[in-house]
């Protein structure tokens, strides 16, 4: 047994950036040159055993701010009893969200909220490791009453009460053992976004779309929203490549206003898009409801930028979404995502989690698998996004075969990155970035010496 005197000894942050913009991987209508990044946190304990790893995803210079925000939470965590923390991550979650001086920056939204998510997720990683279970199983095996105690019901009880949540979770436990076995056997359905990045040529799009079908995916996704003629051409090419029976979602990454979203989506209707994702601002609840009415039967999906459980509540109350795309690292971690899963279950709206980025597939698979095993009990019309990027940097990377995520078996939240990757891609002093800066300095000595105005001389594009 671990010593009960064991404490959190340190909270260390790492600014990890990958130069993905150079291949246009991840490019969409709002993010033409993303350098996929993780604001990464490691909790170490006084006994030196298991560590808790967590992170949130940003793209490039956003990490300057995000890493600082995580560091601002350090004093809440260091010195806490590890046993107490793992027995009740919700207590830390409430303390972090409730820090009155930091709460002013939100409340419960944006950089500070994502920082809370990174830290809270690291605690869940540690708790699951100490229990010797992958997080999905740790959650699925947990007492329903305890799970309810992990949810902050403030601002929710007009729609979801603790008693209703308990009932949903008790019902979800019926048959959970059989579903856990089925999950380990079959995996969880995935769809792939890899063919559809906006910066890819038609040839690459067609090749990757065909490849996705060959690999067993039954749904792909295309980025849209920059140019309608291009979108029509690309959707036609993708539909021709995959045939009529494969679901093809499209994703506008918030590019449009409400009327434009309706008109543009209708213009793509002949290619039978399955859902239109992030058609407009993630804060525009009534706008999503109007778009949903305007584009029917195309479904409306959103969630990767929905900032907290309250906005999800309203999207559901307003009948604004057909598909709820929770994100593992946008809201305040596992505790708040339990609330989001419970809200979706109450409304009967399928959750198809957002993933991709850095490590988001690794994290979010656990939440979807818990939902299947011990909450909604179904994978019907449910798929986890899959993007084939950057998994090689993780110690326990996702495994997707035959269009399905395999259930993780290693204890924890699959969040830990390899030390060599951390050493290489930590910004700006990791070996990759240091060499890159040296190369740039050698290539353009005059501009670098002068500090060319408007240029970030440390990260040449
Ligand atoms: Mg998206």
Domains located in the chain, CATH noted = 8-133 (3.30.390.10), 176-405 (3.20.20.120)
Backbone angles phi, psi at 274, to 5 degrees: -80, -45
Q: Provide CB contacts within 8 A for 347, sequence distance 6+.
A: 316
Q: Which residue has the tokens 């010496």?
A: 449
Cα(99) to centroid(ligand 1), Å: 31
Average pLDDT over residues 133-155: 98
Task: Kindly tell me the sign of the dihedral angle through the C-alpha atoms of 327, 329, 334, 339.
Answer: negative
Bridge partners for 7 per DSSP: 81
Q: Out of 109, 354, 389, 404, which one is annotated catalytic? A: 354
> How many angstroms separate the CA atoms of 63 and 16, rounded?
8
Q: Using alpha carbons only, how large is the chain's radius of gyration in Å? A: 22
Confidence of residue 461 (pLDDT cuts 50, 70, 90): very low
pLDDT at 350 over 70: yes
Give the tens place of pLDDT for each residue, 40-87: 999 999 999 999 999 999 999 999 999 999 999 999 999 999 999 999
Mean of pLDDT over the chain: 94
Q: Out of 76, 133, 221, 223, which one is annotated catalytic? A: 223
Structure tokens at 57: 């995803």
> How many angstroms separate the CA atoms of 414 and 328, rounded?
12
Strands 404-405 and 188-196: antiparallel
pLDDT at 156 over 60: yes
Confidence of residue 26 (pLDDT cuts 50, 70, 90): low
Cα(258) to centroid(ligand 1), Å: 17
Residues in the chain: 461
Structure tokens at 190: 């995935």
Q: Are 191 and 219 in contact (CB under 8 A)?
A: yes
Angle at 45 between CA 40 and CA 50, to 5 degrees: 75
Backbone angles phi, psi at 458, to 5 degrees: -80, -25
Confidence of residue 23 (pLDDT cuts 50, 70, 90): confident
From 2-16, 115-129, 396-410, the region with the lowest mean pLDDT: 2-16
Cα(417) to centroid(ligand 1), Å: 24
- The predicted pLDDT at position 446 comes to 61
Strands 273-277 and 323-324: unpaired
Q: Provide CB contacts within 8 A for 188, sequence distance 6+.
A: 365, 368, 369, 372, 379, 384, 404, 405, 407
pLDDT at 196 over 90: no
Cα(234) to centroid(ligand 1), Å: 17
pLDDT at 91 over 70: yes
Give the tens place of pLDDT for each residue, 246-295: 999 999 999 999 999 999 999 999 999 999 999 999 999 999 999 999 99
- The predicted pLDDT at position 451 comes to 45
pLDDT at 124 over 90: yes
Could you say which DSSP state residue 399 is in?
-
Cα(304) to centroid(ligand 1), Å: 7
In the annotation, is 354 catalytic? Answer: yes
Q: Are 256 and 284 in contact (CB under 8 A)?
A: no
In the annotation, is 109 catalytic? Answer: no
Strands 219-223 and 247-251: parallel
- The predicted pLDDT at position 28 comes to 75
- The predicted pLDDT at position 33 comes to 76
Q: Is the model's pTM score more than 0.85?
A: yes
SS3 330: coil
Task: Give me the percent of the chain exceeding a pLDDT of 70.
Answer: 95
- The predicted pLDDT at position 454 comes to 40
Cα(401) to centroid(ligand 1), Å: 22
Which of 452 and 34 is assigned the larger pLDDT?
A: 34
Angle at 388 between CA 364 and CA 309, to 5 degrees: 25
Average pLDDT over residues 432-439: 94
Average pLDDT over residues 120-137: 98
Cα(251) to centroid(ligand 1), Å: 6
Q: How far lies 20's CA from each of 34, 124, 432, in Å?
A: 6, 29, 13
Find, among 328, 306, 331, 326, the residue nearest to 108 by Cα. 331
Backbone angles phi, psi at 195, to 5 degrees: -70, -25
Task: Kindly tell me the sign of the dihedral angle through the C-alpha atoms of 284, 360, 168, 87.
Answer: negative
CB under 5 Å of ion ligand 1: residues? 251, 277
Cα(28) to centroid(ligand 1), Å: 9
- The predicted pLDDT at position 453 comes to 43
């Amino acid at each position: 047994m671990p010593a009960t005197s064991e404490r959190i000894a340190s909270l260390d942050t790492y600014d990890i950036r990958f130069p993905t913009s150079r291949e246009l991987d991840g490019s969409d209508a709002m993010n033409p040159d993303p350098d996929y990044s993780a604001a990464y946190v490691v909790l170490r304990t006084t006994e030196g055993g298991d560590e808790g790893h967590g992170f949130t995803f940003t793209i490039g210079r956003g990490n300057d701010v995000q890493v600082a925000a995580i560091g601002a939470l350090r004093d809440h965590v260091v010195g806490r009893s590890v046993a107490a923390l793992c027995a009740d991550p919700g207590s830390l979650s409430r303390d972090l969200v409730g820090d009155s001086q930091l709460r002013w920056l939100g409340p419960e939204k944006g950089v500070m909220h994502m920082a809370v998510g990174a830290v809270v997720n690291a605690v869940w990683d540690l708790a699951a490791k100490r229990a010797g279970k992958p997080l999905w199983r740790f959650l699925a095996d947990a007492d329903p009453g305890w799970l309810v105690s992990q949810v902050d019901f403030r601002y929710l009880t007009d729609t979801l009460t603790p008693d209703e949540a308990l009932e949903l979770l008790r019902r979800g436990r019926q048959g959970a053992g059989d579903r856990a076995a089925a999950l380990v056997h079959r995996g969880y359905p995935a769809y792939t976004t890899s063919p559809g990045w906006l910066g890819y040529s038609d040839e690459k799009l067609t090749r990757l779309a065909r490849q996705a079908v060959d690999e067993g995916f039954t749904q792909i996704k295309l980025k849209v929203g920059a140019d309608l003629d291009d979108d029509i051409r690309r959707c036609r090419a993708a539909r021709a490549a995959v045939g009529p029976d494969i679901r093809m979602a499209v994703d506008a990454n918030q590019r449009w206003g409400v009327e434009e979203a309706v008109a543009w989506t209708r213009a793509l209707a002949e290619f039978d898009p399955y859902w239109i994702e992030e058609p407009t601002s993630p804060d525009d609840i009534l706008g999503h409801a109007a778009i949903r009415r305007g584009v029917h039967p195309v479904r409306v999906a959103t969630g990767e930028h929905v900032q907290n459980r309250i906005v999800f509540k309203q999207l559901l109350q307003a009948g604004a979404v057909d598909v709820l795309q929770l994100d593992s690292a946008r809201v305040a971690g596992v505790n708040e995502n339990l609330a989001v899963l419970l809200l979706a279950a109450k409304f009967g709206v399928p959750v198809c989690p957002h993933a991709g980025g850095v490590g988001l597939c690794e994290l979010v698979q656990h939440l979807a698998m818990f939902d299947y095993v011990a909450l909604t009990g179904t994978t019907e019309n449910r798929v986890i996004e899959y993007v084939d990027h950057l998994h090689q940097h993780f110690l326990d990377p996702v495994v997707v075969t035959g269009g399905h995520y395999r259930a993780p078996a290693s204890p924890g939240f699959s969040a830990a990155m390899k030390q060599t990757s951390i050493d290489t891609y930590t910004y700006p002093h990791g070996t990759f970035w240091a060499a890159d800066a040296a190369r740039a300095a050698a290539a353009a000595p005059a501009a670098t010496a002068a500090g060319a105005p408007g240029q970030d001389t440390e990260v040449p594009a």
